[in-house]
Structure 1
Amino acid sequence: MTPFATLHHADEPLLLPNAWDHASAHALAAQGYAAIGTTSLGVAAAAGLPDGAAATRDETLRLALTLGSGPFLLSVDAEGGFSEDPEEVGEFARQLAVVGAAGINLEDGLGPTARHAAKIAAVKAAVPDLFVNARTDTYWLGDGEGTLERLDAYQEAGADGVFVPGLSDVEEIAGLVKRLDVPLNILYSPNGPTVPHLAALGVRRVSLGSLLYRRALGAAVQALTDVRAGHTPNGPTPTYAEVQAFSG
């Protein structure tokens, strides 16, 4: 079992913060997190490109190259693999592994189950040690119908873990945990179960997705509003030297 896979089988679930650039990744790692993920929304928005449209392949690979040698294990949000050709997705995964990625997140976007399963199988064939977190969007884009069938297919294709963003019902989460043979990843929501509650349900990985990126944007706008109104911005502000240090 790889070090990254081991984090999914520890006493506590893996709480995975998602970064969008070098500084954010190193700032999060400095808080003691052994693994850092990327957020496709943050990567896309920073480049002025749409998320979920297979438009950020180069940006994603470039960020992985920047972060892959960092003092943390890196999991890359690769949308749907930036191709509908499983072999091309496998090759992209191989490139991510070469620059240091320990994991990849692949979403089905409610495309055909068989096609996504083929992508997963291609990645595992190309890079057996790369942790594949197979995401289904049955709750993110739909009403949950077909979740078990998709997850069963993704497990059979070789997924090391499965991800069901948008699912927050505690009974349904507990039911999935009992049915799965691999770790379940849930997307944290401020309106959903807390991390301790998810841990008690058997969830093994909790992702923050784009939450930190969106909060950072919100904090920047709020700070500007406070300054304009004659108030001192609240909240921690890293010094110039601290941010410089993240560049190592």
Structure 2
Amino acid sequence: MRVIFRCDPILAQHLPRPVPARGVLPDWLRAMPATAYSAIHGRDIRTLKQCPPVVDAMTYGFMILLPCDVVVDRGKFSWDWNIPEPATGNHPRAPLSFHTPGQLAGSPFARPGQAALKFNSFWTIEVEDGWSLYATHPVNREDLPFRLVTGLVDSDRFSDGGINFPAIWKEPEFSGVLGKGTPVAQCFAVPRAAPQLEFEVFDEKRQAAYAQTVADVLSTPGVYRKRFRARRGRSTGE
């Protein structure tokens, strides 16, 4: 899958590029133990760190990064980002803008009197024909003080304007810095063709395969990783 990123020529040297998600795994995942004692099992068991589906989801696609430090003081956001005027008309210079509270009314994202953040985009994104761009909160990143609102953009057609990423600020009492390079959106291309859903009942062969597979997974560590997990290629831009 070819993904093309474009930016304003004046800003090219000032912007962090989108990066493969595998390159920005959180420190907590690297630091957490591989096993932990379970009183229920009476022994050590594997943690999330050893769960390939969890890690594969976190490393899938690419991340859009915050282009500068943003200082947060109990719901007030400020930044000191001295970049030149873009050469392109109608182009943002601020890392953030906002959606008014009324735009969230009636949704589970609504907070009384609280606007939604909007992470401004400084890159246009183009994917191959027939594909769309799925943009979501960085997977399993509950440690981030915001929650991105998921969206789907037909970026094979909409590729001449930036995609902005709305988010809900989760920690009204937070005071600190949201650092440059913080991943704000995890993106990947998905086919636009509707899936064809089919339903079947296990025949005897499938019943036997199910029983054996579950028995193997329960009795032997690493069965999924060693027998079923496909190898992942690396992006050519890495």
TM-score by length of 1: 0.25
**Structure whose alpha-carbon radius of gyration is higher:** 2
- Which has the larger strand fraction? 2
TM-score by length of 2: 0.26
Structure number with the bigger relative contact order (C-alpha 8 A, sep ≥ 6) is 2
